[in-house]
Amino acid sequence: MSPSDSAQPTVTPGLRTYKGSCQCGAVRFEVDFDPSAGTTRCNCTVCKKTAWWGATVKPSAFRLLSGRESLGDYSRSEASHARFCKVCGLRAFGHGNIPELGGDYYSVNLNCLDGADLSGVLVSYLDGLHDTWQQLAVVPYVDPVTAAMRA
Would you say residue 3 lies in a domain? Answer: no
How many Å apart are CA 35 and CA 91, to the nearest integer? Answer: 20
Read off the pLDDT of each residue in 10-31 and give the average, rounded to a whole number: 92
- Taken as a whole, the chain contains a residue count of 151
**Residue 64 domain boundaries:** 14-150
Domains of the chain: total: 1
- Is the pTM higher than 0.85? The answer reads no
How many Å apart are CA 138 and CA 144, to the nearest integer? Answer: 17
So what's the pLDDT on residue 7? 46
More reliable by pLDDT, 101 or 28? 28
* Residues contacting 25, CB < 8 A, separation 6+: none
CATH code of 68's domain: 2.170.150.70
Q: What is the pLDDT of residues 109-126, one digit of tens each?
A: 999 999 898 989 999 999
Would you say residue 5 lies in a domain? Answer: no
Q: What is the pLDDT of residues 24-78, one digit of tens each?
A: 999 999 999 999 988 999 998 888 988 899 999 999 999 999 999 999 998 877 7
Would you say residue 82 lies in a domain? Answer: yes
